[in-house]
Amino acid sequence: MDWVRSFYSQTGAWWGAAEAKITERDHRRATLLREHGGARSMRVLELGCGYGTTAAVMAAAGHTVTAVEISDRADRANDLARDAEPGRLSVVQDDFYAVRLPHHFDAVCYWNGFGVGTDADQRRLLARIARDWLTPGGVALVDVYNPFVWAGWDGNEAHKLPRPEVGYRHELYQRLTFDPVTCTATDTWWDAADPQHKISQTLRCYTPADLSLLLGGTGLRLAAVTVGGHTFDAATARPSFRELLSERHEYVAVLRHE
Ligand SMILES: C[S@@+](CC[C@H](N)C(=O)[O-])C[C@H]1O[C@@H](n2cnc3c(N)ncnc32)[C@H](O)[C@@H]1O
């Protein structure tokens, strides 16, 4: 996982000026938190918070948020924390596999990031959520990459021209591949000005059934799946369900203690 800090710091430097902005997606996530965690004000841990936009919206909704981020994107999250109501949003620049936090949380969120490293790494993280962070009765909301959609993107390439007026200052290339044996997507980027220097993220994707297997022994169970506005029990079959077969590249796993 050596690539993590540098990949997200580099890509944050490329497009952070355009993307470190609160959008409708951050508000949708805060709404999901209310739907699954309840209307009360909660102590929330956000893992891999990136620029901190969702953390800021959750803090503005009245939660007390601790946001952990390993890359330099934490600088932008710290900017948002300075604008938040005092004490509502703390940003910790650290590795969530190593960080020690002084208390437990009513909710743990990991938006758009789960799947880095091996299955053993994911299980280590899930076990930390269950044991070190989540209060009894708490909820974890974890975005999981959906293999059906990522597989369909295998071989896709993109050429992104600069749009400095909206903060995209670099001319970039992207190539996506999907490995059906390891069920991982590899997302490679390079700057047109430096084509020898390519950087990649590799993301393990899980179907809901495979995620349920992964959770075994971690202390967490898959209580529900939320995708495209539908929330359902992961044990219920959904033949021909378009959202997962072809439309959504990730789904939200709602996790609770066993
Ligand atoms: C795809 S980005 C998503 C960022 C943010 N959650 C969002 O949805 O905009 C994944 C983030 O997780 C962070 N991350 C990955 N592994 C991490 C680790 N071990 N500790 C802390 N942060 C990590 C990355 O640096 C990156 O900012």
Nearest to 134 by CA among 28, 225, 47, 224: 47
**What is the per-residue pLDDT for 252?**
98
- pLDDT above 80 (res 236): yes
Q: What is the pLDDT of residues 49-104, one digit of tens each?
A: 999 999 999 999 999 999 999 999 999 999 999 999 999 999 999 999 999 999 99
**What is the per-residue pLDDT for 254?**
98
Q: Hey, whose CA ends up nearest to atom 2 of ligand 1?
A: 113
Sign of the alpha-carbon torsion through 147, 151, 152, 154: positive
What number is the average pLDDT over the span 241-257?
97
Q: What is the pLDDT of residues 215-224, one digit of tens each?
A: 999 999 999 9
Residues near ligand 1 with C-beta < 6 Å? Answer: 4, 8, 48-50, 68-71, 73, 95-97, 111-113, 116
Concatenating the DSSP letter of every residue in the chain gives -THHHHHHHHHHHHHHHHH-S--HHHHHHHHHHHHHH-SS--EEEEES-TTSHHHHHHHHTT-EEEEEE-STHHHHHHHHHHHSPTTSEEEEES-TTT---SS-EEEEEEEEEET-S-HHHHHHHHHHIIIIIEEEEEEEEEEEE-HHHHHHTTT-EEEE--BGGGTB-S-EEEEEEEETTTTEEEEEEEETT-TT--EEEEEE---HHHHHHHHTTTTEEEEEEEETTEEE-TTS--TT-HIIIII-SEEEEEEEE-
Q: What is the pLDDT of residues 96-119, one digit of tens each?
A: 999 999 999 999 999 999 999 999
Q: Hey, whose CA ends up nearest to atom 18 of ligand 1?
A: 95
What number is the average pLDDT over the span 232-252?
95
Q: Using 50, 70 and 90 to split pLDDT, how confident is the model at 1?
A: confident
Cα(48) to centroid of ligand 1, in Å? 3
Mutate which of 44, 70, 145 for ligand 1? The one with the most ligand atoms within 8 Å of its CB, which is 70
Cα(94) to centroid of ligand 1, in Å? 11
Q: Hey, whose CA ends up nearest to atom 14 of ligand 1?
A: 48
Locate tokens 């005092």: which residue? 86
Atom of ligand 1 nearest to the CA of 25: 8
Q: What is the pLDDT of residues 178-196, one digit of tens each?
A: 999 999 999 999 999 999 9
Atom of ligand 1 nearest to the CA of 8: 25
Cα(34) to centroid of ligand 1, in Å? 22
**What is the per-residue pLDDT for 2?**
84
Locate tokens 């209307």: which residue? 39
- pLDDT above 80 (res 176): yes
d(CA 138, CA 130): 9
**What is the per-residue pLDDT for 178?**
98
Atom of ligand 1 nearest to the CA of 9: 25
Mutate which of 1, 6, 8, 122 for ligand 1? The one with the most ligand atoms within 8 Å of its CB, which is 8
Within a 10 A sphere around the Cβ of 143, how many other Cβ atoms? Answer: 21
Share of the chain above pLDDT 90, in %: 98
Atom of ligand 1 nearest to the CA of 68: 21
Which residues have CB under 8 Å from 197's CB, separation 6+? 190, 191
CB of 48 within 8 A of CB of 117? no
Q: What is the pLDDT of residues 30-43, one digit of tens each?
A: 999 999 999 999 99
- pLDDT above 80 (res 132): yes
**What is the per-residue pLDDT for 101?**
97
Q: Using 50, 70 and 90 to split pLDDT, how confident is the model at 253?
A: very high
What number is the average pLDDT over the span 11-29?
97
